[in-house]
Amino acid sequence: MKPSDPQKYVGAVENAVKILRQLAQTGAPEGVASIARETGLNVSTTYNILKTLTKEGLSTFDERSKSYAIGMGVLELSAPMLGRNPGDMIRPVMERISREHSVLVALWTVTPQGRIVLSDRIAPADVVRADMQPGSRLPDLVGAVGRCVAAARGLDREALRDAYAGLRWQRAPGFDAYWQEVQQARIDGYAFDFGQLFRGLSIAAVAIRDIAGTPRLGLSTISIADQIDDQAMREAAKDLKAAGEFIELNVFGRRGD
């Protein structure tokens, strides 16, 4: 395929993936009509795909209840991923976001010592950008990632005020603004930092939680101020949120709240 050619996708494969995701997320056997309704497919298409998935061992069929469930064959496909470094699985997600939004994408590890450590970053090749080196460390409650970590931990106002007093910014937002932004991050699932952590940089971020709800990773986009507009920043943040939910499910086994 030439680079200029539009990408073409196979609808039947996309539909099969929708059905497999529905079976995996539900966690309980479902009938054809219910699966069709939840995936937005027609019943005939759903039935035919389920019959094929069952033949290949990716789903199972209960004759008595006339219902389908996720099959053991999925483990055969996922087994090579078990034991791999989560960063290796996350990197393709980062590459896509960096490419589609023309931003640097950074992966942070939240440590028990109150730090976030830059684990990996993907930078677009054709965009003037700021950069950070893997291993860079920051306090875990600072910046856009820090707002999301604070939101995930559910810290109350006084506890967060005490923590905020120890943070260092190039242009501090002030505690009242920081508190409001943490509350907004709880609602939105993402947060922003516009030149407060580092002057001249605009950052969007999400926190990625494990099955217990503890923030374990941060994912952020970093761009030079005014390089992308507010709407583009918000679109990147929404993409980060979807990526974070995908990573929570597939790396940590956490389902949505």
Q: From CA 252, how far away is CA 246, in angstroms rounded?
A: 10
- Each domain of the chain, given as residue ranges in start order, spans 11-78, 83-252
Higher-scoring residue by pLDDT: 241, 24: 241
95 pLDDT more than 90: yes
Tokens of 38: 């939840």
Pick the CATH number of 11-78 from 1.20.1560.10, 3.20.20.120, 1.10.10.10, 3.40.640.10: 1.10.10.10
Sorting pLDDT into bands at 50, 70 and 90, what band is 7?
low
231-250: pLDDT as tens digits = 999 999 999 999 999 999 88
Sorting pLDDT into bands at 50, 70 and 90, what band is 6?
low
134 pLDDT more than 70: yes
DSSP string, 109-145: EEPTTSEEEEEEEE--TTS------TT-EEETTSHHH
**DSSP secondary-structure letter at 167?**
-
pLDDT at 8: 76
pLDDT at 228: 83
Overall average pLDDT of the 127-134 stretch: 74
User: Hey, CA dihedral for 27, 33, 38, 42, is it positive or negative?
Assistant: positive
48 pLDDT more than 90: yes
| CATH superfamily of domain region 83-252 | GAF domain (3.30.450.40)
